Each structure stands twice: as structure tokens, then as C-alpha cells.
Structure 1
Amino acid sequence: MRNIFALIGLFATVALANFQLDSFQVYVDSVVPGARYGLSIRSVKTGNEIGNIRGGEKFTPASTLKTLTTAAAVHFLPLDYAPKTQVSLNGSVRKKTFVGIINVRGAGDPNFSGRYYADPFHMLYAMADSIHALGIDSVSGKIDLDSSYYKGPWRAEHWRKNFYDAWYGAEIAPLGFNDNCTMIRFKPGAKVGELARAEVVPDVGYVVLKNEMVTVPGKKRKWTWALDSAKPEITIGGAIGIGVDSSQLVLPVRNPIAYFKAAFIHALKERGIAFMEQPNVQEGIQIASYTYSAAPFLSFLDEINQRSQNLHAETIFRNLGAQKTGVGSVESGRAMEMKFLAEMGIDSTDFEVWDGCGLSPKNKVKPSTETKLLAKMARHPKGSYYINSFAGPGIGTGGKRMLDLPYPWLTRFKTGFIGEVHGLVGYIYTLDGDTLAVAMYFNETGKNPDAQLKDALDTLWTRLVYSANDSYASFMKMKQMWLGAQNVAGLTARLEYFSRLMKGTPYKLGPMGESYLDSIENKPLVYMDSVDCVTYLEHALAMALSPNENEIFNTLQKIRYKGGKIGYVNRKHYLLADWVADGKYARVMQVPGDTVIKRTIPKQDFFKAKKIKYDTPDAPMDLRYLPYNRAMELASKPYEGPLMVTGVAFVAGANNLDATHTGFVIFRNGELPKLRHAAFKKHVIELTLKDYLASRKGKLPGITLFEFLKQ
């Protein structure tokens, strides 16, 4: 069996092990057998691919192709771009009657509809109002519609035949109205046997409705519909039960240019302007000119990427070509997308583009190239506008998807679906501050139910979200705790506050690791459900030092890792030799009566056992500590002075180890020093340092006190 997993670089190898992509394929084979699955995961921060399954094979992307359409548009078009529909009156006005030609030049504005404005006539009314404002209450002449902005055909090629009879397959033109669709609303007749009552909404006198639907007993819903291939004729038939309240169909309208004209004439009439067609009227001088833009560019992105509106995708695809080459067509749109890919350093041959919306089954893309596109766009100067246009759990086409994610803001995605094709691409934000660009596809899905395929994609996507944000709830808990301590000032007071707030937290040895970023210990990067002695110190110190709640994670990782670089080899494994010796967050205190000895920590053996190369030679270290008897003397005397919070290391008896345990020591005026620590097999507790030392008599050489450093 061929190896379907491709690893790129060391980072990719490490992360892949933690995402366990082999289990992804096993899951796919078990729930949607026979479906061809493609996956790519890429770090936006590094640009490196973390791992893939069939990432180099081409897949039909369905509507996820819109991510390319909108990316090219965002790259080339200004953010204030808006298609301009131009209206000019060429003729003369005679006693409130305009005699001449109204010329309307379209430039691909799909928002002459109810998508951006509640009323689909909003823009047409604005046009009519401008004419009426000239004192005109009737027009005698003709309306010329200039559609030269686009090169045909209006009907996209290479789509499946049935798509042209669906609302999402409406014809594309530089002038359009109401998504180039109409609604057929119908309900039962008054009696069984009568025809159903049906209407066209909105009715501008253009669509011809042939009603053959019969009212029958009960609640039967067996209606049918058919569209003429060229004329705006719709036939509804079949049966509707008399117990049915009502229903509706949204269907495309043939010849959108003629549909626009009918809607414009209707708007003129509604605004008090009578229109009398005079085909032979002569064109006169221009007496007025107006320009209309229905909606801003960013609204296009939302319609395309959030709601997957095909008409908007096809218009912006052609508009991009028209804006940059002078011709609006599939060919010019494709040429601009190929130019965009070249400028982004992406191999354009990895994409096969036949439209702007993804309906053509001839469209192809490689998962690994799709994530390269997404990663490039995340770093694009206008990338935030691009990402924010995507859907998400409960948003747009994600309205019913992944609703059980407790933190839905951790992902944005674009969905895709046509027959035997499902796609899901987008972004996952990670706890470590990276963003993952992800692309998943199912092709050749056979008889697997669509709902099951969607659920499989959502399950795998959710698994990635959780893997990249292991124990996110702990991170949120730390933020809440930090916000509750905004009135606690000073490092000492904050250390006392947070160490006290964590009392009662259960003990667990080694609860943390490097999550998906390393394969040796892929435990959470943040974990508040349980702590060991060191992670207790680290979490409390991170909250105490962080200047705001958003810096908690970074502060914690800088405390835990050398240079803040997450990785098992960079973790400060030894309390005194690494954690305190780093010198940035803590420093050993000199205490009267202490002593210094030499110890060599065998770090090379430690890492060798983990099969990690570690080149730094083991060297003796100075270990300063207060011998046990002197420590008991210190712990037995009430402290005199202002509040002080230190760390304490309980020195190991073995010569190859620096310390066996740690905690906080709270010094309050007039009281014995108190030890707060994560007690083995118990929880975070507080007791006098004296009592703890007494329990370790004969087993403990002594203690090292260390102070925490302000940043």
C-alpha cells in the first residue's frame, strides 16, 4: 500500500505525530467507505506544511474554489471598489414628459436585490427617484440596456444541466435584478380539486407562470416544476394537500437583461413615472447622468464566502477581469487569477479554473496548494478582511455546523458541496498563537449520504480545533482569574493572590507538555484542572507577571521554555539548573548560614533516554542551599517585615538531581513562614514550612530559597 502521508521538514514531522493523521484516514474509511479523502494542514506562521493526506492529488473543490476568486479580488481590487451602474437621459423634457432614450450601462453589480437591502427594488427606486426629481412624470421613448461590460455567454459553461434550473445556477449578466431569480409562492385552493393559488414574487410582469398544481385531500406535498430553457416561463404542477399552509420555490429567470428592464419599468411606475415605449425615438443630447453602486466590496466577500452566493462569485470573477483587462469574461477572470497565483509564488498549474463559484466539476485543486493560498492570504496586507468574510460555526453556511464547539471563534471556514463532492477549507487559530490553514475534501463519494459526509468533515475539523487548542478552557480560566485581580498591585501581592486562589487544585504529576507542537509529550500547553509542584508555580507566576490577560499564554511559555521557544528540548526540566538558573524570572537568594556545593546534572543522559540529540556537555553547577537544621531554625521563627513571597526548592539527596519538590513560601509579619505547594497525590495546600520540614526529617539535605523577578 502506498504511503499517503507526506511530511515536510522536522516541524512537520513532529506535529504530524500529534495530529495523528493516520487515524483520520482510518476514521474516513470506517464512516464513509470508498470516498477519496484529501487533507492539508499548514502553519501560517512558518508557511510550512505540517502534514497532508493526498495533498498532491487534484480534487474537485466545489464552492471552496470561491476562496481563490475572492483572494484574487482582494489582492487586485481596492477595498472601496464598488461596481457602478450608469444611467443617462438622452433627449428632452416636454411638459414633464421625457422624450428620448434612457441608457443604463451595467458593470456587474449583483446587489440590485434583497440581499443587501430589505427591498429588492431599493436601487431601482433610487434610479426612478432621480428621474422624478427632474420634474418628469412620464417617459416616451425607450430604455437601452448596455451589457457590453461582459462578454457572453450569460449562462456559465461546463455546469451540469440541472444546475441551470436551480436558483444557485442563475444566468450571469452585467445588469441583474433580485439575484436573477424569482419566487413562486403557492397554497392550496379553496376546495379539493381546484387549482392551487400561486403568484410570482416580485411580479414585474416578466415571468409567465403556468399553474397546473391541483389541490388534494390531506397534507400531500408532491408538487413539480419545470422551466423553459430559453423563455421566462415556469410551470408548476403536481399536488398540494388542502391541509398544507403554503410553500414557495425560488427559481432562476431566463434572460436577466430583459428581466432587469421589466423591473426598472415597474419601479418607474411605482414611483409615479409612466413609461410609453417608442422604439423609433431619436436620441437627443444628454440632459442628466447618474451613477449608482448598491453595496461596498466587503459585502461581496461576505455573500461569497459566508453565504456561498454563486451569482456574486461569478460577477466578481468577471468584474476582476473587466477592471484589469477591459473585458469581463471567464477567460479574463481566469487570467487574473493565474496572475495572482504567480505573484503569490504559487504554482498556477495546481489549479484548474472553469468558473468563479466552483459549480463546474472540471474545477480542480490540490489540497496542499489550497492551504498555501490560505496561508499567503492570512499574511496579505488585506488578509483580515479576507478571513473575516469566511463562515464559522453558526455563521452563514456554517449555520448548522460544529455548533457544539465551546469556543466557535477559534475557526473560520468556507464550505463546498456539489454532487459527490464535499469540501471544507479555512483557518484554525491555535493556543500557541499560530494559525493553521486547513483544506479537506471528499471526492467520489459514491452512495455515502451527504449528511454523513458533512458530519465526517465536521468531526475531523473539530478534532483539529481541539488538538490545536488543548485545554483551552484552562486558558480562559486564567484570563478570568487575571481580570479578577486587576486591583491587586505589585508582584509580591499578586503572587500571594494567585497562589492562594489556586489552593485546592488537584495534584497530577506531569500534566503539561508541548501539545501538537512536539511528539514527546503532547499534553496541554496550559492546564488548570490539576497541577504538579512546578506547574503550580508556573501558572501562578504567569498570571502575576502578565501585563494584561492576553499576554498570559506567552508569559507562561517564556517561563517554561528557554527563549519562550516551545519544544521538549527547550523546556526547563530541572528546577534549579534550568528554571531558576535561567535568571530571567527567578534568582537564588543568599541566606545566612547557607552553603554551596558542586553538582553535575546528567542532561545528556536525560535527553538520550528520550532519543533527543543534546550537544551541550554536562558541567558542574553551584548549588546554594540552607542545610536542614538551619532551615528548621528559619521556619521556627515568626517572620518580621513586610509581606514577602519566595519560591523554595527542596534539595535532592541524590548527586545527579538538583531538587525534588518546590512551592511558594509566604512570609507574613509576626507569623511562621507558610508553605503553599501542590502536595503529592493530594492538592494545593498550605501549612507551616516548619511542619513540612519536620515531615521530611532525615530525607532532605536542605532548602534553596529563590526570589521572583519583576519584568
Structure 2
Amino acid sequence: MRLIALLLAASALAGCATQPIPSGTPAPGPVPMERLLEKQVYQMSPQEVHRYIAHMQTAEPDLRKRITAIGRKNIGQPYKLHLLGEYPFELHDSLPMFSLENSDCVVFAEHTYAMALSKSWEEFFWMLQRIRYKDGVIGVASRNHYTEVDWNLNNNWLVSDISMALAGPSGPSYELTVDRATFLKTRHQTERDIPVQNSREYFLQADRVAEVAAQLQDGDFVNVVSTRDGGYWVSHVGLVATGPDGARRFLHSSEPQVREESFDAFIARAREREQRNAREGKNGQKLAGFKFLRLNDNIVVPPMAPQPRPGFAAAP
């Protein structure tokens, strides 16, 4: 009886397993590359993205052009704010570590850079974390929350701030004060003893972008600087893309979807929003200008810092 019971149990478990493909029925093959390239990236599965980024490494060997091509391959991707987190690595929220279907402005830039620098899905996912976190250490406290003093500085192996050089010695600047400990406690219920940081940030006034546009290059990182009540901060990011006519354009994710437009068009929309807010009596943010970060010519990706074992003190 014991043998019969074991056999019945084994039979029941086998019923839960994936059924084999019947003999003589071929497994479905991958979509031909020419058909895959008809899709936008946000319409692809991870398996298809794996093939696409491997293809792009050979199809477009110039990194700057590859960044622009991959970014344009996401035009139309729906915008979604508060998109990513550390789940399931951490439990402070339930947001996942990647999304292909949607993006916000930072996610779009990070995914585009990571795909352009990679040859496979595995390398892309590794590169994404290397870009998104200080030293690549995954965690809400090590995420690059603040553009000026986190993202820009921790990714100086990838991009270098050229805002002061573009604006000249008389260009505007602002002092930024960052209280990470309070931010992490109030926004993410995470306790960290981190001192307050102050920095001086230089930018180019919005009405001077046309003067320096010719100096911008494909793949450069764009920081949109906003102001309200005397304070200044980076409120939006995107990428520089060169149009067919040689004009420098702004490639970015903003509501409702990823788009490419001239800087003049972006500035005009910002001014229209400011005028609408004024008519409605709203104290909305105003466009002050831009910071520009040059994509480095010789990129050497630093190693990922080893992820510490949770609950164990670091070795002396």
C-alpha cells in the first residue's frame, strides 16, 4: 500500500509540471531580426531586448549614435511617475527594479545608457544597477536620488559637467542643500546617519541654449533646472539627440510619453505652463535653465562594489 501511495503522489506532482511539447511539434522559434526591429523597445520582451542590444553593438559601433538610436527606439513609451524601487531586494516598497513598459525621465535615461553600453540582457541589468546606485550597491539609501550631487557625481565615469564652461564665468549658479537622512526617513522609512551636504551648482539660462546648441553632442545628459520661491533644483532630465538637419534636440520621457523635440519647443511649453499657472493663481515651478553633462569619450566602467551581506558587519 505504501508503494501505491507513493506512486499516486508522484503522479499528482507530475500533473503540476509543464507538459512536454508533443513529439514532432517544433518549438516556436525567435522572431526574425527584421521583424523584431519593427517594434519599439517598450513593446519587446526581455528575451527580445537581449537580442536587440546585442544587434545594436554591431549595427551601430559609435556609442553616441547608439545611445540616440536606442533612445529613439523608445519614443511613444508611456510615462509613469514613481516607477521603480528595490523590490524584492528590499521591502520598503513594492516597486520593481526594472520596467520595459513604462518610464519616467530618469528611468528612460538610465535604461538608454545601460542598453547602449551592454551586449546582453545580463550585462544590461548589471549596468543599470551600476548607473542607478552609488558604487552599484543596491539599496534605497545608496540610490541616486538627487540629480546634482548623487546621479551626476556618482556617474562621473560616464558623464562630466560642462555647464560652467558653456555658461562662461558670469553664468548663474545656485546653492543646493541636501538632507538625505530626513528624506530617507520621511519618504522611505529608512534610518541613516548621513550629514547634510551643500554644493554650488552652475547652469545655463534657458534663453542662451541656442547660443551653445552646436557644441552639444549625441548622448550628452541634460538636466532641466527649475526654480520656485528662490530655490533651484534639477526637476527633469533627458538626452541630447542630433536631428537630420544637424539641429540639437531634446529626447526625454515626460507626460504622456517619451518624445523628441527641439529645445525651443520644450522651453515654449514650459513658458505656456507658467503663464497658465499665473492665470490660475498657482505658485508653480518655473524653468530657469539647463545643466549639460558631456558623455565621456573614453568610458571605463568601474567595478561594482560588493554587496554587503545583510545583518553582518563589514570585515575590518
Q: Contact 1:506/1:531 (CA < 8 Å) preserved in 2?
A: yes
Report the Cα offset of residue 559 of structure 1.
Answer: 0.8
What residue is the counterpart of 1:615 in the other structure?
A: 193
- 1:664 aligned to 239, 254, 260, which one? 239
Whether 2:276 is the aligned partner of 1:705: answer: no
* Structure 1 stretches lacking a partner, 5+ long: 1-161, 170-306, 309-395, 405-472
1:658 CA drift (Å): 2.5
TM, length-normalised to structure 1? 0.33
C-alpha spacing 1:398/1:505, structure 2 compared with 1 (3 Å): farther
Note closer, same or farther for the CA distance 1:497–1:607 as it changes in structure 2 (3 Å cut): same
How far 1:547 sits from its partner (Å)?
Answer: 4.2
Q: Structure 1's 549 and 629: CA in aligned 2 closer, same or farther, altered over 3 A? A: same
3-state SS of paired residue (1:650): strand
Contact 1:677 1:685 survives alignment (8 Å): yes
Query: Partners in 2 of 1:477 and 1:514 — Cα distance?
Result: 24
Q: CA deviation at 1:484?
A: 3.1
Q: How does 1:180-329 map to 2 (within 5 A)?
A: none
Distance 1:543 1:668 in 2: 21
Per the TM alignment, residue 529 of structure 1 is displaced from its structure 2 partner at its CA by: 0.6
Q: TM-score scaled by structure 2? A: 0.71
Name the SS of the counterpart of 1:660 in structure 2.
strand
Distance 2:172 2:143 in 1: 28
Say what the alpha-carbon RMSD is for the aligned residues: 2.9
Q: Check if 1:596 corresponds to 2:173.
A: yes
In the TM superposition, residue 607 of structure 1 has moved relative to its aligned partner by 1.4
Deviations 1:352-386 (A, max 9, x none): xxxxxxxxxxxxxxxxxxxxxxxxxxxxxxxxxxx
Shift of 1:561: 1.1
Tell me the CA shift for residue 398 of structure 1.
Answer: 6.2
**Structure that is richer in strand per residue:** 1
The CA distance in 2 between the partners of 1:548 and 1:477, in whole Å, is 10
| Partner SS, residue 591 of structure 1 | helix
Residue pairs, 1:155-166, within 5 angstroms: 162-163=1-2, 166=4
Corresponding position: 1:584 with 2:153:
no
Greater percentage in helix: 2
The match for 1:401 among 5, 13, 16 is 16
Match of 1:559 among 125, 131, 149: 131
Q: Does 1:484 align with 2:55?
A: yes
Q: What code does the residue aligned with 1:586 have? A: V
| Residues 73-111 of structure 1 deviation map (CA, whole Å, 9 limit, x = unaligned) | xxxxxxxxxxxxxxxxxxxxxxxxxxxxxxxxxxxxxxx
Q: 1:576 to 1:398 in 2, by over 3 A?
A: farther
Would the alpha carbon gap of residues 649 and 640 (structure 1) be closer, same or farther in structure 2, given more than 3 Å must change? closer
Q: Count residues with an aligned counterpart.
A: 253
Q: Distance in 2 between matches of 1:538 and 1:611?
A: 25
Q: Give the deviation of 1:603 after TM superposition.
A: 2.2
Give the counterpart letter for 1:675 in structure 2: F
Larger Rg: 1
Alignment of 1:169-184 (within 5 A): none
Q: Tell me the residue number matched to 1:203.
A: none
Q: Which amino acid letter does the alignment assign opposite residue 685 of structure 1?
A: R
Distance apart, 1:568 and its partner CA: 1.1
Secondary structure of the residue aligned to 1:700 is strand
| 1:168 shift after superposition | 6.2
Specify the code of the residue in structure 2 equivalent to 1:619: Q
**AA paired with 1:667?**
T
Q: 2:261 aligns with which of 652, 674, 687?
A: 687
Q: How does 1:490-639 map to 2 (within 5 A)?
A: 490-582=62-154, 583-589=156-162, 590-593=165-168, 594-609=171-186, 610-635=188-213, 639=214
- CA distance in 2: counterparts of 1:492 and 1:398, whole angstroms: 53
Does structure 1 retain, via aligned residues, the 8 Å contact 2:46–2:121? no
Q: Deviations over 1:217-275 (max 9, x none)?
A: xxxxxxxxxxxxxxxxxxxxxxxxxxxxxxxxxxxxxxxxxxxxxxxxxxxxxxxxxxx
Deviation at 1:598, TM superposition (A): 2.0
CA distance in 2, matches of 1:664, 1:507: 16
CA distance in structure 1 between the partners assigned to 2:226 and 2:17 by the alignment: 50
- Deviation for aligned residue 1:401: 2.2
Mapped partners of 1:646, 1:659: distance in 2: 16
CA distance in 2 between partners of 1:503 and 1:617 (Å): 40
The CA distance in 2 between the partners of 1:581 and 1:554, in whole Å, is 19
Offset at residue 555 of structure 1 (A): 0.6
Distance (Å, rounded) in 2 between the aligned partners of 1:585 and 1:575 = 14
**8 A Cα contact 1:625 1:703, kept in partner:** yes
Partner of 2:227: 653
Write the distance in 2 (CA, Å) between the matches of 1:521 and 1:586.
Answer: 30
SS at match of 2:76: coil
Distance 2:119 2:15 in 1: 38
- The aligned counterpart of 1:295 is none
Structure 1 counterpart of 2:291, which letter? T
Structure 2, unaligned stretches of length 5 or more?
Answer: 20-43, 275-285, 301-316
Q: How far did 1:662 drift?
A: 0.9
Change beyond 3 A, Cα 1:557–1:474: farther
